[in-house]
Structures are given as structure tokens and as C-alpha cells.
Amino acid sequence: MKSLELLEEEHRDMERALDLLETAVFKILRGESVDPKAITLLLRFFREYAFCHEEKIEKALFPLLESKNPPLRGLIAELKSEHALSRRALRTLQEIFEEEFKGVNHERGGLADALSYVRSRRLHMFKEGELFRTAREVLSEDDDKRLLEEFKEIESNILGPKVQEHPKQLTELLDEVEMLLSKAGGLEKRIYAKP
């Protein structure tokens, strides 16, 4: 099923972004410097890319699965709720890192929230992965084609007319974050962890 393979590929990209966010937070907690641009790019990734992923699932996959397999409604309601919680947590992370950039000390509680976000997203993706396995059993080839068309429309509405360039831009964004996090020195504006 190409539609489910696409969603699973997006999970792999999100896992990479979560790994990078976790790396950044641990660097800060160890007192190492982190370029704010790395955090800004990661938050952009989650705001745009993860949101688009969730919209495809909520607006296309979930309704189809509910019609094909009504017992999934409970799990689907739980996953929708987790999407809403994730969006709220992301807004909180934005505020936490903005304050971190300004040197406001959160007694490291805000950074713990970032790690909690990473853990909750990983658990959520595991649950979605289980749902995708069930979907393979109940969806037809026609369903798959329909989902792919709906995904294209959702992506186009969210990402705009250059949606076909998005995978390349996404890879470049994550590559840049990785490079920024691996760099030692050379950048003026940094976040420094406070002892």
C-alpha cells in the first residue's frame, strides 16, 4: 500500500527530527553550546511537516478506517487527542526555547518538557504504526489510490504550489540541523546551558 508506505516514511523523517531535538537538549543540559538556528529549524519541521502528516491521517486515513473497521474508533479518538496535545506542546516548546535564547533560566524544567515531547511523539508513532498494520488488512487497492489523491490535495493546501519540492527541502533542513549540532564553535549566537 503506497499510502501507508508514505506515512511510514514520514515517521522515519520525524524520528530523525526527534533524535536531533533530543541531541540538542542533551547538549544544552551538558553545558554545550547549540546554535539557535538548529532549534528554529526543528520547530519549523514539526510545525509544518508533522502537522501535514497529522492532517493526512486525520482527514483521509482515519475516516476511511472508521468506515471499514468501526472498532478502531477508540484508538483513532486517542490518536486524534494526542495530535491536539502535540500541537499544544509544540507551542510551549517554542516559548521555552525563545526564553532559553534570551537566557531566561527555567531550572531546566522546560528542557525536561522537550524530552517529554520527544518520548510522547515516539510512543504516538508506535501506536500509529500499529494502526497502519491493521489498515493493511482492511484497505483495498482502490482505497489506497483514493488516499494517495487525498494526501496530495492536503499537502498542496498546507505546503503550497511547490509541494513536489518538499521532500528535498525536508532532507536539506534536517541535514542542516545535523550539521549545526555537530559543529564545534564558529557561530556567534548560541544557547548556553546554565549550571
- 111-141: pLDDT as tens digits: 888 889 999 999 999 999 999 999 999 999 9
**Domain extent for 162:** 2-182
Domain total in the chain: 1
Q: Would 189 be classed as within a structural domain?
A: no
Asked, for residue 151, whether it belongs to a domain, the answer is yes
pTM score: 0.86
Split at pLDDT 50, 70, 90, the class of 142 is: very high
In this structure, how many other beta carbons lie within 10 angstroms of the beta carbon of residue 169? Answer: 13
Distance between alpha carbon 163 and the CA centroid of its chain, in Å?
18
CATH of the domain at 12: 1.20.120.520
Q: What is the pLDDT of residue 93?
A: 87
**Lowest mean pLDDT, pick from 40-44, 89-93, 109-113, 188-192:** 188-192
DSSP string, 35-47: -HHHHHHHHHHII
The 10 Å Cβ neighbour count of residue 28 is 22
- Sort residue 107 into left (φ over 0), alpha (ψ -120 to 50) or beta: left
User: pLDDT tens digits for 61-111?
Assistant: 999 999 999 999 999 999 999 999 999 998 888 888 877 777 665 556 678
For residue 155, being part of any structural domain is answered with: yes
Per the domain annotation, does 187 fall within a domain?
Answer: no
According to the model, what pLDDT value does residue 166 have?
Answer: 66
